[in-house]
C-alpha cells in the first residue's frame, strides 16, 4: 500500500535482538538477522496470538496480560533464532576437541541439557527480580522507618518510597546493561527499530537516509511500558495496607496482572493519541529510552527496514484509526 507523506499510527511493533530485529505486523511476524557473511536473513515466526484465539482475552486490562505473555514467549523464540543465525559459520573450520564430560553430557542429555540450563537460568533470574523489585524496597522502607518514624505515619510515604527505590534500581540495571558492548549493539538495533517505524508512520520511503533522520524515542515502546508499570505500582501500593515485608510483597505480586493490564492500556493510549496528557504520561518512558536506545549504524537500519517491509500488509490493516 503506497502512501506519500501522510502521517499515520501503525500497530506494527518490534523487538531488538542479537544482530537483528523482529517486527510484528497484523498478518505476520518476521525476524531479520545480519549474518557473519554480511547478508540479511529473514525468517517468519508464529506468535501465540492469544488475543486473536480467545475473545475473552480482548477485554481491557485482561488483554494487557495476554499480550505480555505473548510478547515474552514470542520474543524469547525470536531471540534464540537471532542468536543461532548470527553465530552461523563461526569457527566452522576449527575442530574443537570435546572434553570427556562434554561428550558424556552430549551422549546422555543432548539438547535436553541446554533446555534444563535455560530453564534454571530463567527461574533464577525471575526469583532475583522478584527479590530485588518487590521485597528489597519494602524491607528498606521498614528499615528506614525504624530510624525516621514519621515515614510510617501514612501509606503515601511508604508507596512513594518503595516506588522510587524500584525506579532507581531499574535505572541502575539498565545503565549497567548499556555499558556492555553486546548490549549496546542490541540498544542500537532498538534505535533502528524505532526510527524505521517512525519513517513508515510519516509516509516516507523506507531507505537508510530517511530512517536515519527520524528520532529514536517512540511512545509505544517496551521500555515505556516497564516504566509505566513501575509508576502504576506506586498507585496500587496506596491501597495495600499491610506493612509486613512478606505479606505486602506477596500481595503486590498477586496484583501484578492488574499492574500489567493498566500499564498496557496507558501505553496504547499514548501510542494512538498525541496531546498534552499523553505526552506527560509517556514522558518518563521516553526519557528512559535515552538509555535503552542508541543511534544505529547504517547496516543495522538496513536490517530493520528488511524486517519492516516484510510485515507491512497490502490493505493497510495495520493503520490505527
Q: How confident is the model at residue 93 (pLDDT cuts 50, 70, 90)?
A: very low
Q: Residues 36-86: pLDDT tens digits?
A: 989 999 999 998 888 888 889 999 999 999 999 999 889 989 998 998 888
Would residue 19 be called left, alpha or beta, if left means φ above 0 and alpha means ψ between -120 and 50 degrees? left
- Domain regions of the chain by residue span: 13-86+119-311
Mean pLDDT of 134-150: 87
At residue 95, the pLDDT reads 39
Q: How confident is the model at residue 249 (pLDDT cuts 50, 70, 90)?
A: very high
Alpha-carbon distance of 103 to 44, in angstroms, equals 34
What residues contact 269, with CB distance under 8 A and at least 6 apart? 278, 281
Sign of CA dihedral 87, 88, 92, 98: positive
Cβ 261 vs Cβ 60: under 8 Å: yes
Q: How confident is the model at residue 247 (pLDDT cuts 50, 70, 90)?
A: very high
Would residue 219 be called left, alpha or beta, if left means φ above 0 and alpha means ψ between -120 and 50 degrees? alpha
Mean pLDDT of 237-265: 93
Fill in the DSSP letter of residue 98: P
Amino acid at each position: 500500500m503506497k502512501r506519500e507523506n501522510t502521517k499515520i499510527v501503525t500497530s506494527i511493533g518490534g523487538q531488538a535482538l542479537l544482530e537483528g530485529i523482529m517486527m510484528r505486523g497484523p498478518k505476520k511476524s518476521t525476524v531479520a538477522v545480519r549474518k557473519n557473511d554480511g547478508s540479511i536473513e529473514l525468517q517468519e515466526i508464529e506468535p501465540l496470538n492469544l488475543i486473536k484465539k480467545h475473545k475473552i482475552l480482548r477485554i481491557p486490562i485482561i488483554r494487557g496480560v495476554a499480550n505480555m505473555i505473548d510478547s515474552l514467549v514470542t520474543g524469547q523464540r525470536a531471540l534464540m533464532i537471532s542468536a543461532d543465525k548470527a553465530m552461523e559459520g563461526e569457527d566452522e573450520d576449527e575442530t574443537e576437541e570435546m572434553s570427556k564430560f562434554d561428550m558424556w553430557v552430549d551422549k546422555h542429555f543432548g539438547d535436553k541439557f541446554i533446555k534444563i540450563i535455560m530453564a534454571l537460568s530463567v527461574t533464577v533470574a525471575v526469583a532475583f527480580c522478584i527479590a530485588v523489585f518487590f521485597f528489597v524496597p519494602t524491607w528498606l522502607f521498614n528499615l528506614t522507618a525504624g530510624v525516621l518514624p514519621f515515614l510510617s505515619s501514612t501509606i503515601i510515604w511508604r508507596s512513594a518510597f518503595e516506588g522510587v527505590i524500584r525506579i532507581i534500581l531499574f535505572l541502575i540495571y539498565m545503565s549497567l546493561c548499556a555499558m556492555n558492548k553486546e548490549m549496546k549493539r542490541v540498544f542500537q538495533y532498538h534505535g533502528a527499530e524505532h526510527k524505521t517505524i517512525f519513517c513508515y508512520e510519516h509516509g516516507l520511503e523506507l531507505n537508510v537516509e530517511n530512517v536515519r533522520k527520524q528520532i529514536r524515542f517512540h511512545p509505544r515502546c517496551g521500555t515505556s511500558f516497564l516504566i509505566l508499570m513501575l509508576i502504576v505500582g506506586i498507585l496500587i501500593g496506596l491501597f495495600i495496607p499491610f506493612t509486613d515485608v512478606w505479606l505486602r510483597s506477596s500481595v503486590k505480586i498477586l496484583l501484578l496482572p492488574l499492574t500489567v493490564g493498566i500499564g498496557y492500556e496507558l501505553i496504547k493510549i499514548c501510542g494512538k493519541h498525541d496531546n498534552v496528557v499523553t505526552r506527560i504520561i509517556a514522558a518518563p518512558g521516553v526519557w528512559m529510552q535515552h538509555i535503552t536506545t542508541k543511534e544505529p549504524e547504517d547496516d543495522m537500519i538496513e536490517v530493520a527496514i528488511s524486517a519492516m517491509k516484510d510485515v507491512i500488509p497490502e490493505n493497510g490493516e495495520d493503520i490505527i484509526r
